[in-house]
A and B are shown apart, each in its own frame.
Chain A
């Protein structure tokens, strides 16, 4: 079962922004619903991550934007089933949230169909969407964690340790498998990984092989030359006129940093205005399209351009393309995440954000920008938003953990020979 992105951006009644902020902040601080007054997110079976963020009105100087509520979820399976579950679990609280938004039907719980219609009306497509483990559902992730814990319990039992100590790897694997078969309710079979499509394989060859790159790249570039040259010229001219944002004098919104680093995972919501004009819309959409294509067909195994720590990330164009919204769910510290951006993926990110306001000086769309390390970090912080509600279904698992567990569990029923067995045991 593969996972998908849902983004819903709804206008908030201008006089209700404060009330909504209060409600959402309460929900966010009670994410496990200890009070019983909010949403029991843990009951959702289709959701990896979800969040609600208020996009404040008019926060971008020049143009006026009305306050909006953004919702994102990373979910498994069909959209309708996901929405129905969300409404079932969130019911009355969802009604209160969207009651502050314009145009919400008054009786959410009473009419699932009309509420679904309301959400779908404000649904936005991701311009680019990345998934760290596209073929593994929430249920898979949790089942694998359970299996791993069972193995650890078996190996760490002090009674058993002495007898396991001198076993050959092959024998030890058999003992583990024998034990797992006795654990009630533990699933030992795993669906095989889907085979990469022909397009995936082609893209992989293209990305990994210099000769193929040259063979395909040179004719394409030659063919596009009449477009590329003027584009580059216009771009240089425009870039020379881009204004670098002055360093903000104030500390970053303390609420943004204040919500980081409680768990292994962190999140980021980022909103910035796109440079005006058709030209920048075009370059932006082209780059995002390219990233989306690669994320679908190449970067689909827990690695986005060298960054191993992103669970899900998406770019969404909102306000008719005037602003660019970015959501990310990632492992580890902000400093490390931004460092990875700069060290590993500066080209791609600069390609996107060089089309937006205040970004550090760029060169020909992809050059410089993010490599201005301190400026880039400052700019990112300056455009980050406080995320009122953020839920993760598996908050203790890193992307690497999830994928390692997949590898461990793929062989739970295999008969492992000595070398294979030793390799498998190294993963525990």
Chain B
């Protein structure tokens, strides 16, 4: 979704002294949602011919077709306004097919190497029952696992088709398309349930354009989102590395000092300026959601208008914001569309004066996705701890035409982080899908959580509740169904430009 880029002429400060971000080597998606290009296409490819795939990659790099964060697009100068944008990333099996050696593969994160479809990962992510890997459209089985994700951005459908065709011509001999997904922002920044999305983004240290109106406004160390820089613990995140001998043409930088034992030859840093990309196609059961909200809020003794208002209120209580984006903490009784649309104030809030969730329920989506000042007792400590579990989101809604005129709606969820286990998976497992989050008993995220799924054999609807504090006592709704369903995806490594050049280099394997 569109990042709110606050343009500023300020010079970009170094993330850590002596550690300025190398924008020209970082793929643009880290900093930009490419919001001016409303249409996007995710082309998932499999390698047929490794040498051919490497040659294709080399050409992409030589022609400077991969969108970076440099030049005119320098974050210090605001978002780029290119005609098109292109980003490229690889799964673990993709890297193997490009000839990356086992010694190098072992230095990637375990989450990435195992892939999203791994049984334990699926359990962590709540990809069970109807959302289990074997039911996915892509990425769920060995046959459908993509090797490459090529993400294309364009101004409209026709433009995107032409852009895609020009690339297809070049890769089709070496790579085959296994899945294609379009996602677009023609409905502005509304996600399919009807809520404003894309409001909250982390403010990356050293990148003033990422500064938003977030009340906490704490700058996050770049190493949380880009490999090769210090992370929130003041350390370099685990970064894939290459033995010196495997980089004879010296295409890669060395790993930072102090990362190897003294005397040992310093290996090359394959990860620097790269990051891990999480892609998930998530179907949203829009009808089911609104039906559930209506049934759970309807009161036969009240008028139609009152019931309509109660429906909107319950939906907001589950989300934590009104449809307009206005946060419940700031306007608990009724929507304030002006506030919701005001990017300078719609994210300016904390939960500290709402400890019991009487305004914004403890189990609501926004309190889980970012607990802000209430993760632990001390608000300052809380903000610090939360900053260790953040992701950059670049998702966009999709609308698939189905046979019979039906439409499937959802979100092409895209997240960037350098430690999948501590960031993306943590948020999903420990905040969203955790029934004990915020001292609750049996409530998962009512919007995005892996709630009651009749296709899951062990499920009992009674174990899934939503609790809305109220007077004189809470409303407790049991049997909350699952509204967001997994349709396919995987973990990708999105390399820096130098690393792309290395991956595309000619080699024996």
Contacts and interface: CB of A to CB of B under 8 A. Distances in A.
Interface of A: 152, 155-156, 162, 164-165, 167-169, 172, 249, 251-252, 257-258, 260-262, 264, 306, 331-333, 335-336, 339, 342-343, 371-374, 396, 398, 400-401, 404, 422, 425-426, 428
A264 B436 contact: yes
A156 B476 contact: yes
B422 A404 contact: no
A169 B422 contact: no
Contacts of A373: 231, 233, 235, 422
A151 B430 CA distance: 28
7 contacts: A165-B472, A251-B114, A264-B435, A335-B425, A371-B233, A426-B356, A428-B474
A167 B114 CA distance: 55
Size bin of chain B's contact surface: 35 or more
A425 B385 CA distance: 30
Interface residues of chain A: helix, strand, loop or mixed (majority)? helix
Nearest to B358: A426
Given A152-B476, A332-B430, A262 B235 contact: no
Contacts of B472: 164-165, 167-169, 172, 422, 425
B376 interface: yes
B419 A400 contact: no
Contacts of A336: 426, 429-430
B439 interface: yes
Nearest to B425: A335
B291 interface: no
B237 A374 contact: yes
Contacts of A164: 472-473
B478 interface: yes
B361 to A, nearest CB: 12
Contacts, number: 85
Given A155-B473, A374-B237, A426-B356, A331 B436 contact: yes
Given A372-B235, A374-B419, A425-B473, A261 B436 contact: no
Interface string B204-238: 00000000000000000000000000010101011
A343 B385 contact: yes
B464 to A, nearest CB: 13
B11 interface: no
Interface string B423-466: 00110011000111001011000000000000000000000000
Given A373-B231, A426-B356, 16 more contacts: A155-B473, A156-B478, A164-B473, A167-B472, A169-B472, A251-B113, A258-B120, A261-B120, A261-B429, A264-B436, A335-B421, A336-B426, A372-B235, A401-B441, A422-B472, A426-B469
B8 interface: no
A172 B473 contact: yes
Interface in B283-314: 301
B473 A339 contact: no
B508 to A, nearest CB: 23
B190 interface: no
A258 B120 CA distance: 6
B507 interface: no
A155 B476 contact: yes
A332 B434 contact: yes
A333 B436 contact: no
Contact of A162 (B120, B301, B376, B421): B301
Contacts of A331: 436
Contacts of B439: 398, 400-401, 404
A403 to B, nearest CB: 9
A249 B101 CA distance: 14
Query: Which are the 6 A-B pairs with shortest beta-carbon distances?
Result: A398-B436, A336-B430, A400-B439, A373-B233, A425-B473, A169-B472
A335 B426 contact: yes
A378 B435 CA distance: 27
Contacts of A342: 233
A258 B122 CA distance: 12
Contact of B120 (A257, A372, A401): A257
A306 B436 contact: no
Contacts of A262: 123
Contact of A306 (B113, B376, B435): B376
Contacts of B238: 374
A415 to B, nearest CB: 16
B7 interface: no
Nearest to B463: A396
A374 B423 CA distance: 13
A391 B93 CA distance: 38
Given A156-B478, A372-B235, A401-B436, A428 B429 contact: no
B6 interface: no
Interface string B35-52: 000000000000000000
A165 B233 CA distance: 49
Contacts of B419: 374
B435 A335 contact: no
A151 to B, nearest CB: 10
A251 B110 contact: yes
Contacts of B385: 343
Interface in B256-289: none
Contacts of B421: 335
A158 to B, nearest CB: 11
Nearest to B120: A257
B388 interface: yes
A252 B114 CA distance: 12
B124 interface: yes
Interface in B119-155: 119-120, 123-124
A385 B469 CA distance: 42
Nearest to B438: A400
A155 B474 CA distance: 9
B106 interface: yes
Nearest to B434: A332
Contacts of B120: 257-258, 260-261
A76 B370 CA distance: 39
B473 A428 contact: yes
Nearest to A145: B441
Contacts of B106: 249
B189 to A, nearest CB: 31
Contacts of A172: 472-473
Nearest to A251: B110
Nearest to A337: B430
Nearest to B389: A339
A65 B216 CA distance: 53
